[in-house]
Structure 1
Amino acid sequence: MDLHPAQVKPARIELIRSLELPDGSHSGLRLKNEVNAGEVLRLRRGVYVRVSDWLNAPPWERHLAATAATQLNRAAPIFCRETALALHGINLLGAPQAVQLRTDHQGGTRLLRPSPMTGSADPTAVIQQHGNRHRNHHQQQDDDGAHFPAAGGAAGVAALRGIPTRLHEHVRPPRTSRPETRRLVRGGFEAPQQELEMGFRDHWPADVAHCLVEDLGLVLADTVPRMEEAAGVVVLDAVLGGRVASGVALTWAGLSRWESWIHSQRLLTRWRRALQFADPLSESAGESLSRVRIHELGFEQPVLQVSFELGSTVARVDFYWPGCGVVGEFDGKVKYLRADELSGVSVEEVVWREKLREDALRARGLRVVRWTWEDLRRPGALEARLRAAGVPLATKKSHGK
Structure 2
Amino acid sequence: MSSPRLILPSDVELAGQDSRLLSVLNKQGRYFRVRRGIYTEASGWEALDPASQYGLRAAAFQLTTKQQPVFCHASAALLWGLWILGKPEKLHVLTEERDGGRSRGDIARHIGLLNQGVVQCGPFLLTDKLTTSVQLITRLKFEQAVAVCDSSLRTPRHAAGGNIFTPTGTADPFHEPSWKNDEPQGPALLKSELMSAAEDLPSRSARNRAVAVIEFASGLSGSLGESFSRVRMAQLGFSTPELQHKFVLRDGNNAFVDFWFKEARRAGEFDGREKYLRHDWGGGTSTQDRIIEEKIREDHIRAQGVGFVRWTWAEMMNLDRFERLLRQAGIPQK
Q: TM-score, normalised by structure 1?
A: 0.69
Residue number in structure 1 paired with 2:88:
96
- Seen in structure 2, the aligned counterparts of structure 1 residues 217 and 314 have a Cα distance that, compared at 3 Å, is closer
* C-alpha contact 1:78 1:214 (8 A) present in aligned 2: yes
| One-letter amino acid of the counterpart of residue 318, structure 1 | D
Residues 114-193 of structure 1: pairs in structure 2 closer than 5 A = 164-170=106-112, 190-193=114-117
Q: CA RMSD in A?
A: 2.5
* Residue 104 of structure 2 corresponds to residue 112 of structure 1: yes
2:140 maps to which of 203, 214, 227: 227
Residue number in structure 2 paired with 1:86:
78
Identity of aligned residues (%): 31
- Seen in structure 2, the aligned counterparts of structure 1 residues 59 and 231 have a Cα distance that, compared at 3 Å, is farther
Residue number in structure 1 paired with 2:223:
284
Residues 48-67 of structure 1: pairs in structure 2 closer than 5 A = 48-55=39-46, 57-67=48-58
* Residue 328 of structure 2 corresponds to residue 388 of structure 1: yes
Shift of 1:165: 1.0
SS in 2 for 1:16: coil
What is the alpha-carbon distance in structure 1 between the residues aligned to residue 48 and residue 12 of structure 2? Answer: 29
* C-alpha contact 1:79 1:213 (8 A) present in aligned 2: yes
What is the alpha-carbon distance in structure 1 between the residues aligned to residue 85 and residue 132 of structure 2? Answer: 17
- Seen in structure 2, the aligned counterparts of structure 1 residues 12 and 369 have a Cα distance that, compared at 3 Å, is farther
Residue number in structure 1 paired with 2:239:
300
What is the alpha-carbon distance in structure 2 between the residues aligned to residue 375 and residue 25 of structure 1? Answer: 59
* C-alpha contact 2:275 2:281 (8 A) present in aligned 1: no
| One-letter amino acid of the counterpart of residue 16, structure 1 | L
What is the alpha-carbon distance in structure 2 between the residues aligned to residue 300 and residue 340 of structure 1? Answer: 32
SS in 1 for 2:239: coil
Could you list the runs of 5+ residues in structure 2 that have no partner in the other structure? 157-182
What is the alpha-carbon distance in structure 2 between the residues aligned to residue 375 and residue 197 of structure 1? Answer: 37
Aligned residues: 305
| One-letter amino acid of the counterpart of residue 7, structure 2 | R
> What's the CA shift string for 1:29-66, capped at 9, x where partnerless?
22222222333221123432344544554433332222
* C-alpha contact 1:45 1:73 (8 A) present in aligned 2: no
What is the alpha-carbon distance in structure 2 between the residues aligned to residue 51 and residue 362 of structure 1? Answer: 51
Residue number in structure 1 paired with 2:177:
none
Shift of 1:315: 1.8
Residue number in structure 2 paired with 1:379:
319
Shift of 1:390: 0.3
Residue number in structure 1 paired with 2:150:
237
What is the alpha-carbon distance in structure 2 between the residues aligned to residue 306 and residue 342 of structure 1? Answer: 19
Q: TM-score, normalised by structure 2?
A: 0.82
- Seen in structure 2, the aligned counterparts of structure 1 residues 23 and 310 have a Cα distance that, compared at 3 Å, is closer
Residue number in structure 1 paired with 2:197:
258
* C-alpha contact 1:46 1:73 (8 A) present in aligned 2: no
| One-letter amino acid of the counterpart of residue 116, structure 2 | P
| Worse-superposed segment, 223-232 or 104-113 | 104-113
SS in 2 for 1:291: helix
> What's the CA shift string for 1:95-139, capped at 9, x where partnerless?
1221011224332222221xxxxxxxxxxxxxxxxxxxxxxxxxx
What is the alpha-carbon distance in structure 2 between the residues aligned to residue 63 and residue 23 of structure 1? Answer: 28
What is the alpha-carbon distance in structure 1 between the residues aligned to residue 129 and residue 111 of structure 2? Answer: 18
- Seen in structure 2, the aligned counterparts of structure 1 residues 66 and 255 have a Cα distance that, compared at 3 Å, is same
| One-letter amino acid of the counterpart of residue 91, structure 2 | V
> What's the CA shift string for 1:140-186, capped at 9, x where partnerless?
xxxxxxxxxxxxxxxxxxxxxxxx11122226xxxxxxxxxxxxxxx
SS in 1 for 2:248: strand
* Residue 290 of structure 2 corresponds to residue 350 of structure 1: yes
- Seen in structure 2, the aligned counterparts of structure 1 residues 213 and 390 have a Cα distance that, compared at 3 Å, is same
- Seen in structure 2, the aligned counterparts of structure 1 residues 349 and 295 have a Cα distance that, compared at 3 Å, is same
- Seen in structure 2, the aligned counterparts of structure 1 residues 23 and 257 have a Cα distance that, compared at 3 Å, is closer
